A and B are shown apart, each in its own frame.
Chain A
Amino acid sequence: MKTFFFSITLITISNLCVSQGVQFSFGANYGSYNLSDIKLLRNDFRQQLLSSLPISIATVNDFPSHVGFDLQILFTQKKFNMGGFASINSTGSRLYYGDYSGHLTFDQLLKSIGIGGLIEFIPSKKENKRAKFIVSSKAGIALNSYDLDYVLQLGQSVDLQQLSFRSTNIFMMPGIGFKKKIGAFHFQPEIRYLIDIPGNLKLSTDSNLTLNKPNGDTANASWSGFRIAISIGYEKKIK
């Protein structure tokens, strides 16, 4: 991990030395998440719950696509832009039943904060105002949190049980898109695919304990999937 950060930092500094400008951009992404182990655990919990309580429990949310956000900094050259980025994505699910006597809620909340380096390649050599095709690739690590909240409330009595897990993933996310400059600002839509190498989910209070699937294998949170992203940025020329 240290080597990874060291390499990114070194590339960024070296690129900074030869760069023509610095771009700051902020974007949003929207996509799908694999999360197969998490869904499996949710289904297993649902089955166990229904076997003990014959209630019409509803799956209110089922790990929906949710807007994520990116921050990135790029040191620009003619065809290659290099820099770093930070992103945050979250999703979750909720099982819910409620009536006049109380309610039962089982929430799974997932959050992933990714940081890493990126590179953009702009094939076009023309200097004009038209949008330019770009190919990009990001690589980095993602710090994941997986929180389980179980709430049973009957009248004024509330029973709350919480568990929290953590994992670290390594990912790579190639993408293609366009970049349209409007003065110092630019507008950049992209489509990306996140390839995740997930790590094991470990109990936050005791990293020796891992979350296991019903078959005994360790569970992980894989965020792999397509992303549609759009970002806006500001570039400052370096003289």
Chain B
Amino acid sequence: VTRVAPTTPTAPQTARPWRIQLVLALKHLLLLIIGAGIVVPLLWMLRTSLAEPGDVFSDRLEILPRTFVWRNYADAFATVPFGAFLWNSAKVAALSVLGQVVTCTLAGYAFARLHFPARHLLFYFVLATLMIPAQVLLVPLYIVMRNLHLVNTHWALILPALASPFGVFLMRQFFVGLPRELEEAATVDGASIPQIFWFVAFPVARPTIATLAILAFIGSWGNLAAPLVLINDTQQATVPLGLLQFSSTYATNWPSLMAATTVSLLPSFVLYLLAQRYILSAYSMAGVQK
């Protein structure tokens, strides 16, 4: 038996041909330029939020403001009831997230595991509601809420957000992929269906539930159209609606406007820093599934 000599010895990383190195460097350069296109606008927002009002209109481009004016943040909260906006948004988001976690895990589990009449039909029905775009529903949703006397209340924002077809899909996919052994063992031990759901299925689903909760929060936190239509009392406004009113009323006070903008971005940004992996995996899953 003759041993075949390796025809191409694997070169160490450092000894790559210079052309490959050059191409890689150019790729990084391109990616860095586009990355700067994402980062610079956000940094500029931060910079403006800390500048003197006069500094904003200076002709010279200075990376840092001459003095850091933290007062702009206090001003933003004094000009408009921004504290109330934050509280309203937090309340609406918290209840929407809680609602979606409950409804989506229950429905996702049932569609994945339980046998009941019309199961497939109902699942397709849930998916079909994804086809109706939110913007199209805005006008009739207002009519529904008006008839329920819920216009100008936070319930008008929370109730429709208590269910999520995508959330049901996400949870169902998780439970479909879960090995049945644990649940079967619990059944042998005489556990009932709600017991199995609560003590066996729910705990193992925690990472997917976290993903669902994060996506629900981000959706709720950024929602502008629904509050714009359903809320007309400034004290009841959520952050996006408040920010829109702020920007159309006090557009010349750039530093406080940018301070308000920074505050409104912050929760989503921090959440993204902490849970980026969950968000990206849920997002790419939506693409691979189809």
A joins B in a complex: no
